[in-house]
């Protein structure tokens, strides 16, 4: 019997693909070590930046006398079928301490009660407002304003996707800076001031982004975050650790090098004229937020402008994450599809002689580790496990692979958790910290690998269908984080304004 197994193994050794897999084992290990070392470097840069930021801003965020110098901001909320959360998001914005701002909600052809909920909650009526179409969008049906809440307006338009909705909001924006938010996001009172502050500190700033935190497990009452907690279920808990790692390390690390390629679509502030100058958001891409920032880098460097795109490490924005596997899978595939579109359509930035750190460091990093990463990771796991089962890989080599692939991931996740507690301390109770530590360890065993599979599927989907029109990416939301008073619940149907029947046609 032993002779039989030895003959079988000898036969396997003679198969060409087995030799290829054995020769690639060192490539996989080197890749996993390289990617984790790169993340570790960003880890230390981010830790230094956050400690420095907290030292400079913890005592007094902005002197009261300087508040009147803050530039006015148009806050844009693109919304499509967000009936459960959009009213709470607008109420949250109305509680902000920012001195001068407006709220423009863009109803992008919702088929649920989004439009009716907004009309009922804020007393909106259609007004004959001029609409300057500087950016091309789908047909705008009407602009609504509120007599009880002068800051709030709503643009009602035909469905065209998130990017198209933001462009419509930019066309209606009255102020030089605009802030893009998701319609299921909640801001704290100081959030807008914190993310706009870089524009006050440095005239070169053209865009600023902030940290996005997981809202699941928290409680929102009348538009304000009244309780910060951890999600009750494992899936949003894993995403919480993911968000900590992505924002506190990835984006904070790239910011001091002026190499930030992504400002989250959930919360970012931009100089309006610079965005209009490059044609606004592209409606034919999934990753409209990353694509815009990369195009801004390309345009400004091509024009030899002295500019800054920065990231603020404050916990400024809270958003609901998927609670079911189907929605999460769809979201991650969509994100990877958007990443692929943004990278390959702006490939000219990479190694461009005027590309700076964005073109010479951040872009190759995103291409090598974020675009190709899922494929290499999945193939690496399959190859190494298969070779280990066949006895073709020594035990010590397999253990080194596991340490490189999983151990460093655990280290980075735990580091993100520790940095959060040492800097912002939002989850201060010992029970919360213990749960967060357990989640930071466990998410590297199964969840991370499934995520890589989904991202690989997103890459394959992009390769098979590289150019097509994109709509909204939908995820199932439960809105369990909000407490809505009974008197604020919208009625089943809202009649048109008696003085101006809503015909549903375009603006005159």
Instruction: Tell me whether residue 195 is in a domain.
Output: yes
Which tokens in the block code for residue 350?
């990479």
Instruction: Tell me whether residue 5 is in a domain.
Output: no
Instruction: Tell me whether residue 112 is in a domain.
Output: no
Residue 412's pLDDT is what?
83
Which tokens in the block code for residue 464?
């098979």
pLDDT, one tens digit per residue, over 25-60 is 677 777 877 887 888 888 888 888 888 887 776 655
For residue 190, pLDDT over 60 is answered with yes
Which tokens in the block code for residue 501?
């029947």
Instruction: Tell me whether residue 39 is in a domain.
Output: yes
Instruction: Tell me whether residue 394 is in a domain.
Output: yes
What is the spatial distance between Cα 476 and Cα 194, in angstroms, rounded to a whole number?
30
Taking 3-state DSSP, the helix, strand and coil percentages for the chain, each rounded to the nearest 5, stand at 50, 15, 35
Instruction: Tell me whether residue 450 is in a domain.
Output: yes
The domain containing residue 453 runs over which residues?
A: 11-58+184-473+483-488
Instruction: Tell me whether residue 144 is in a domain.
Output: no
Which tokens in the block code for residue 195?
């993310």
Angle at 346 between CA 165 and CA 296, to 5 degrees: 60
Q: Which residues pair with 224 in a beta bridge?
A: 221
pLDDT band at 507 (very low <50, low <70, confident <90, very high): very low
The distance of Cα 73 from the centroid of its chain, to the nearest Å, equals 21
pLDDT band at 248 (very low <50, low <70, confident <90, very high): confident
In the predicted model, what is the mean pLDDT of residues 82-110?
Answer: 90
Q: Which residues contact 175 (CB under 8 A, 6 or more apart)?
A: 71, 72, 73, 74, 100, 101, 102, 272
What is the spatial distance between Cα 258 and Cα 362, in angstroms, rounded to a whole number?
9
pLDDT, one tens digit per residue, over 433-478 is 899 899 999 998 889 999 999 999 999 999 987 666 555 556 666 5
- Domain tally, the chain: 1
Instruction: Tell me whether residue 174 is in a domain.
Output: no
Give me the DSSP letters along 183-243: TTEEE-TTHHHHHHHHHHH-TTEEEEEEEEEE-TT-EEETTEEEE----SSHHHHHHHHHH
């Amino acid at each position: 019997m032993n002779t039989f197994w030895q003959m079988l193994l000898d036969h396997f050794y003679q198969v060409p693909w087995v030799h290829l897999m054995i020769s690639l084992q060192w490539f996989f290990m080197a890749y996993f070590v390289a990617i984790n070392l790169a993340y570790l470097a960003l880890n230390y840069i981010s830790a230094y930046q956050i400690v420095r930021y907290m030292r400079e801003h913890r005592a007094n965020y902005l002197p009261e006398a300087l508040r009147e110098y803050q530039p006015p901001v148009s806050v844009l909320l693109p919304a499509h079928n967000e009936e459960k959360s959009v009213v709470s998001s607008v109420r949250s914005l109305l509680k902000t301490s920012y001195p001068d701002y407006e709220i423009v909600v863009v109803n992008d052809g919702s088929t649920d009660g989004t439009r009716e909920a907004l009309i009922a909650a804020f007393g909106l009526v259609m007004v004959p407002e001029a609409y300057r179409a500087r950016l091309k969008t789908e047909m705008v049906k009407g602009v609504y304003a509120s007599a009880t809440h002068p800051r709030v307006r709503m643009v009602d338009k035909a469905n065209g996707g998130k990017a198209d909705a933001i462009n419509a909001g930019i066309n209606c924006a009255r102020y030089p800076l605009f802030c893009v938010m998701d319609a299921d996001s909640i801001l704290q009172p100081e959030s807008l001031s914190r993310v706009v502050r870089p524009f006050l500190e440095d005239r070169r700033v053209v865009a600023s982004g902030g940290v996005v935190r997981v809202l699941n497990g928290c409680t929102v009452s009348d538009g304000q975050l009244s309780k910060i907690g951890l999600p009750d279920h494992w899936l949003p808990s894993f995403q919480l650790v993911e968000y900590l790692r992505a924002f506190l390390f990835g984006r904070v690390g790239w910011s001091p090098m002026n190499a930030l390629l992504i400002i989250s679509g959930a919360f970012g502030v931009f100089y309006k004229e610079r965005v209009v100058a490059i044609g606004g958001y592209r409606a034919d891409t999934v990753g409209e937020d990353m694509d815009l920032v990369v195009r801004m880098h390309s345009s400004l460097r091509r024009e030899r402008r002295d500019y800054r795109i920065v990231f603020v490490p404050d916990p400024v924005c809270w958003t609901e994450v998927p609670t079911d596997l189907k929605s999460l899978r769809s979201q991650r595939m969509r994100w990877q599809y958007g990443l692929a579109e943004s990278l390959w359509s702006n490939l000219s930035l990479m190694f461009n002689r005027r590309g700076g750190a964005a073109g010479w460091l951040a872009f190759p990093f995103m291409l090598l580790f974020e675009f190709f990463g899922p494929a290499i990771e999945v193939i690496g796991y399959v190859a190494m496990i298969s070779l280990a089962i066949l006895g073709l890989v020594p035990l010590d080599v397999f253990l080194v692979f596991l340490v490189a692939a999983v151990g460093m991931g655990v280290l980075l996740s735990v580091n993100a958790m520790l940095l959060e507690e040492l800097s912002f301390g939002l989850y201060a109770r010992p029970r919360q910290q213990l749960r967060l530590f357990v989640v930071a360890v466990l998410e590297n065993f199964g969840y991370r690998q499934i995520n890589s599979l989904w991202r690989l599927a997103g890459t394959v989907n992009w390769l098979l269908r590289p150019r097509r029109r994109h709509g909204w990416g939908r995820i199932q939301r439960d809105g369990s984080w909000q407490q809505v008073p009974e008197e604020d619940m919208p009625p089943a149907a809202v009649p048109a304004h008696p003085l101006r029947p809503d015909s549903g046609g375009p603006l005159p």
